[in-house]
Amino acid sequence: MPSPFASEQRGKTITLLWLFAILNTLFRDIHQLVVASTIEDILAGHMNGNPVTEGALFIGAFAVELLLLGMLLSQLLRPSHARIFNLAVAPIAFAGTFVVPPTDLDDYFFATVVLATFATIFVLAWKWRTTETDHSLNANRESAAPMRSQRR
């Protein structure tokens, strides 16, 4: 069985990590729904002391869509494009975790797990050497080799 960290498996591994982050975020949200004060806030049209507006709902939907796209595009895009996508979106998702800061111990736990997952996605994408990247690096090295020999 190939290593999940091998370059040819990297897209699958990152896809699973996006799914892991999504499920942790979803479970944290569901977990909060058993707290009476959360239900009271929702019924009053507030969340964490902020009014729930159409704009806030849209931003939340956009954030969720980024996570879902991370899962989908890590598998469907060409590896070089998936790598760039993950390098761009993982830091955005990381920063987005702080939009609604943790308020209690279980929120801190879930936030820590999700932050570690986003950081892992970023590191794996950073170290992901795709065949397209390898070919362009080799082409650059080959084109630079004659120049180096001419300088001598």
> What is the tens place of the pLDDT at every residue in 6-25?
667 788 999 999 999 999 99
β-pairing verdict for 46-47 and 50-51: antiparallel
CA distance 53 to 147: 61
pLDDT band at 137 (very low <50, low <70, confident <90, very high): very low
Helices 105-127 and 79-96, packing angle to 10 deg = 160
For the chain, give the percent of residues with pLDDT over 70: 81
Q: Between these two residues, 102 and 66, which has the higher pLDDT value?
A: 66
Residue 128, SS3 per DSSP: coil
Task: Provide the mean pLDDT of the chain.
Answer: 83
25 touches 18 (CB < 8 A):
no
Per residue in 81-132, pLDDT tens?
999 999 999 999 999 888 878 888 988 999 999 999 999 999 999 999 877 5
What residues pair up with 46 in beta bridges, in sequence order? 51
